[in-house]
A and B are shown apart, each in its own frame.
Chain A
Amino acid sequence: GEDVEQSLFLSVREGDSSVINCTYTDSSSTYLYWYKQEPGAGLQLLTYIFSNMDMKQDQRLTVLLNKKDKHLSLRIADTQTGDSAIYFCAETNQAGTALIFGKGTTLSVSS
C-alpha cells in the first residue's frame, strides 16, 4: 500500500533555513502536498506540486520533487518562531479517494 515517510523532529534557529524531507511510495500520485498544523488547530494547506514539476517556489517556501527517488522536500527560508508547527507531507492514494499523510515533522524554532 501507499506509505509516506518523514523524520519526526527538526530544530532550527530563527533566521536559518529549514528543510523538511519526505519519501513516498505511490508514483501515480498526480500532486504532492505539504500541510501545516499549529497547536490545537486543523491542517492548513501550505503548498502543493504537480508531479511533472521539479520545483515550486512560493515566497519563503520552496518545494523540490525528485520523482525518480520519490523524494519531496520543503524548504522554509528565514525561519521564524511563527513557523513552529507540525508539517505533513501527503500524497493521494492509488484509488484517488484519500490523501495519505506522513507522520509529520515537528519543527521547533528557537530565537
Chain B
Amino acid sequence: DTAVSQTPKYLVTQMGNDKSIKCEQNLGHDTMYWYKQDSKKFLKIMFSYNNKELIINETVPNRFSPKSPDKAHLNLHINSLELGDSAVYFCASSQDKGSYGYTFGSGTRLTVV
C-alpha cells in the first residue's frame, strides 16, 4: 500500500484552465503539506494543514487553494493556470509537527502549455 499517493502523476493543460491534484495518506498522520519543486529542483512549502487549520504561505498566489475533506486527504485546486505554474507538486504528511520527518508522495508533474 502506498503511504502517500497523488493523482494524477502527470498533468498537461492549457493556460487559463482550472485543475485539481489529489492527495491521500493512509498513515494516520494529522498534518499534510503541499510543496512545489521548480525546474531547478528547488523545493518550497506552499501550504500545511493540521486538523482543519490551514497555514498559508503568503508567497503563494490566491489562484491556489487547498481543500481538505478529511484528515487523510488534501487536494490542491489551481485556477487560471499560468505557464509559471509548471512544476512538480509534492504532497507530504507527518504526525504532529513532523519531528521524525515527513513522508512524501511521488509527485505530480504539471505542465502548462
Contact = CB atoms under 8 A, between A and B. Distances in A.
A89 to B, nearest CB: 11
Nearest to B44: A101
B77 interface: no
A97 B105 contact: no
Contacts of A88: 43
B106 A41 contact: yes
Interface in A55-111: 86, 88, 92-93, 95-101, 103-104, 106
B48 interface: yes
Contact of A45 (B42, B45, B90, B103): B103
A11 interface: no
B54 to A, nearest CB: 11
Contact of A92 (B33, B98, B103): B98
B39 to A, nearest CB: 12
Nearest to A50: B99
Interface residues of B, number: 25
Contact of B98 (A42, A99, A106): A99
A43 B4 CA distance: 11
Contacts of A37: 41
Residue from B92, B101, B105 whose CB has the most chain A CB atoms within 10 Å = B101
Instruction: State the 5 A-B residue pairs at the shortest beta-carbon distance, nearest first.
Output: A42-B104, A98-B45, A45-B101, A101-B43, A43-B104
B77 to A, nearest CB: 20
B97 A92 contact: yes
Contacts of A104: 41-43
B47 to A, nearest CB: 9
Given A42-B90, A98-B33, A103 B42 contact: yes
A90 B51 CA distance: 24
A65 B103 CA distance: 23
Contacts of A99: 45, 98, 102
Nearest to A95: B55
B102 A44 contact: no
A54 B93 CA distance: 28
Contacts of B57: 98
